[in-house]
Amino acid sequence: MDEETSVVWIDLLHLMLQGVILAAVLAMLLMNPLKTQADQSPGQMKIELRWEGDNDVDLWTLAPGAKSAVGYSHKTDHGMALLRDDLGPSADADSLDYEIATAMIVRPGLYVVNAHLFRNRDGVFPVHLRLKVSILPNGARDWVQIASLTPTLLREGQELTLIRFRLDDKGQLIQGSENDLPTQLRSAS
């Protein structure tokens, strides 16, 4: 085989190999489609707590079936997880004041969400909070906001139940189940 013929055969083999690789990549994409925004969420429930000032506010949550509450000293239990523990502007690298907890799957039953004012460094009261609870019900593609509250903390060390609510077996809020009956989570852990 002369040099020209071997170059043609090598080029043909490279093109065939590239075609096989392209076909394999396309087949994998068809078998595993790109994820949507909802698919990339950290779970099926987001609990976001925000505040201002030089404060260390702690988010505490309790999921149905959990043995203990989730907070800064116990970051996961029964699918619920504290994703961000904010220590206040004096201790954090950023100036954002918020904590976020998520539930990987929404289970039927009672959920409890508390805030605890661990430390108030600037001495300004009341400490205004903003709470948002959103769920991604089973099979849904869009987040559903089930609570948006603006409570206040009046003293250092105060633990306040922000909301208690129930979800059904389809991940839907049971209407009328929302309340703020005091439930200690931090001290109960």
**How far apart are the C-alpha atoms of 42 and 44, rounded to whole Å?**
7
The pLDDT tens digits for 32-82 are: 665 554 445 578 999 999 998 889 999 999 999 999 999 999 999 989 999
The pLDDT tens digits for 170-181 are: 889 999 999 999
Question: CA angle at residue 110 from 188 to 84, to 5 degrees?
Answer: 60
Would strands 127-135 and 144-149 be described as parallel, antiparallel, or unpaired?
Answer: antiparallel
